[in-house]
Amino acid sequence: MTQEELFKKLIAHCKEYGFIFPSSEIYDGLGAVYDYGQNGVELKNNIKRYWWDSMVKLHENIVGIDAAIFMHPKTWEASGHVAAFNDPLIDNKDSKKRYRADVLIEEWMAKQDEKIQKEVEKARKRFGEAFDEQQYLATSPRVADIVAKRDGVHKRFVEALDKNDLVELRQIILDCEIVCPISGTRNWTDVRQFNLMFSTQMGSTADGASTIYLRPETAQGIFVNFLNVQKTGRMKLPFGIAQIGKAFRNEIVARQFIFRMREFEQMEMQFFVQPGTEMQWWNEWKNTRMAWHRALGFGDEKYRFHDHDKLAHYANAATDIEFNFPFGFKEVEGIHSRTDFDLGRHQEYSGKKIQYFDPERGENYVPYVVETSIGVDRMFLQIMSAAYCEEKLEGGDERVVLRIPACLAPTKVAVMPLVKKDGLPELARQIIDDLKFDYNVSYDEKDSIGKRYRRQDAVGTPFCVTVDHQSLEDGTVTIRHRDSMQQERVAIADLRRMVDEAVSFRPLYKKIKE
């Protein structure tokens, strides 16, 4: 199965099993907007809990807030979003499709890297055991050609982005002979800038109404509350403010399911530090955040850092944590050193002094900020991509199983009476009545036990508990483990402890803090 086929299956699975539905589907949906279904919302809530607790519970010096989506319009002038939150867009005149010019070029550069890797693999086969990859990369004329071309384009690309040179961006697209994937032609328009913020009117009359924006990032709600939190919480630098909430961007090229949405959710933490210490904290947060991802156990090789070619208007260092999705390595999280740009600008635009008195230094200053920013929806897609698994079983049977880490699984236990009579459903209900105070538990009495197991595998339930006639006699049940499919007989009285151990976030938090 190709990665593309896998991704299509994953999207279909998300819908079939109540994880994600297209928004307002009965009206044919709304582009790049999605709803989370009964299983999706549980997984999403668990992701948010994993993030929130790892920030707010594990760090004495991080607190949370929940700011409003609507903010004073001056916020977005101060933050630079009105002037500079733009994407460079280009249209293909034949297909009438619109693309981000920077993404077209980045994809072209990624293709050159793939070409180099293919050359290496070919040579490895040719030379067998004697193959020395480093020597090959240093001496192959074919590889040297590709590298020179890629590096040349990379240099031009970075310069064009820095200078905001849209003519040069178009020229790179022409020089690299990039074609539209739909029409296959190189009939491109000029490159234009497009602001990504959604706006609306607040106030009832046309005269009195003012234009306000739907926030494109949650971060500004934290910056404008810096003084409130610092003073009321008596916070000392370094300290952080965390927030989870919706953000909105009028993405022109919305693709890849929930990867790029117009309404999405962010989990952001702004860490306020002494000026001059920001690089040390930036490195620290890079490591902490990478450990948070890796603790999920999907495999360290699935993640990598990608440093930004073009820094956002507020940053002096930035990296992405990328995950290997079915459509390649893509950004899941950004870790940005935002300098004193945001607080400094809010100070300037509001006329209020936004500073911190440092008792150690005996002076006031505007703190520097290191930000960690991750999309809940991208994290959701990461987990679904890594967890989705089609398996052939002994006896020719097949199953689709979601190997979601137990602590994140939407439902922890499914309880099933073997038959719908003889008091088995009643005992199953008693077990649920005990477990439901701690976990999401479901009841299933329909179809054969095999079919019921498959249904639970498909939504990632880590445990199925079967109640049979023996259960009535000796108070034991069969517990079946999702991943190994092993079954064991355990006392009903021990169930809670077993499930507790398996679904706890604790081992993950310990890994992050190691």
Residues that bind ligand GAP in the complex, under the rule CB under 6 A: 217, 219, 249, 251, 260-261, 264, 266, 268, 331-334, 371, 373-375, 377-378
Q: What is residue 366's DSSP assignment? A: P
CB of 261 to ligand GAP, least distance (A): 4
CB of 85 to ligand GAP, least distance (A): 9
CB of 135 to ligand GAP, least distance (A): 37
Q: Residue 46 or residue 411: which is nearer to ligand GAP going by CB?
A: 46
Q: Residue 14 or residue 374: which is nearer to ligand GAP going by CB?
A: 374
CB of 144 to ligand GAP, least distance (A): 34
CB of 92 to ligand GAP, least distance (A): 22
Based on its alpha-carbon atoms, the radius of gyration of the chain, rounded to whole angstroms, reads: 26
- Cβ-based neighbour number of residue 362 at 10 Å: 7
CB of 29 to ligand GAP, least distance (A): 16
Q: Residue 219 or residue 387: which is nearer to ligand GAP going by CB?
A: 219
- Long-range own/partner contacts, residues 160-169 (CB < 8 A, 24 or more apart): 161/102, 161/309, 161/310, 162/310, 166/88, 166/101, 166/190, 166/191, 166/192, 166/193, 167/191, 169/88, 169/90, 169/101, 169/102, 169/105
Q: Residue 268 or residue 278: which is nearer to ligand GAP going by CB?
A: 268
Q: Residue 81 or residue 170: which is nearer to ligand GAP going by CB?
A: 81
How far, rounded to the nearest angstrom, does the alpha carbon of residue 363 sit from its chain's CA centroid? 39
Angle, vertex CA 187, rays to CA 182 and CA 191, nearest 5: 100
Name which of 332, 457, 451, 356 is nearest 47 in CA terms: 332
Q: Residue 322 or residue 358: which is nearer to ligand GAP going by CB?
A: 322
Closest-approach residue to ligand GAP (CB): 375
The identity of residue 463, as a single letter, is F
CB of 178 to ligand GAP, least distance (A): 23
The identity of residue 212, as a single letter, is I
Q: Residue 311 or residue 490: which is nearer to ligand GAP going by CB?
A: 311
Instruction: Tell me how far CA of residue 262 lies from CA of 34, 107, 149, 362, 393, in angstroms.
Output: 9, 22, 35, 46, 40
Determine contact, residues 19/45, Cβ cutoff 8 Å: no
How far, rounded to the nearest angstrom, does the alpha carbon of residue 170 sit from its chain's CA centroid? 30
Instruction: Report the C-alpha gap between 360 and 390 in whole angstroms.
Output: 59
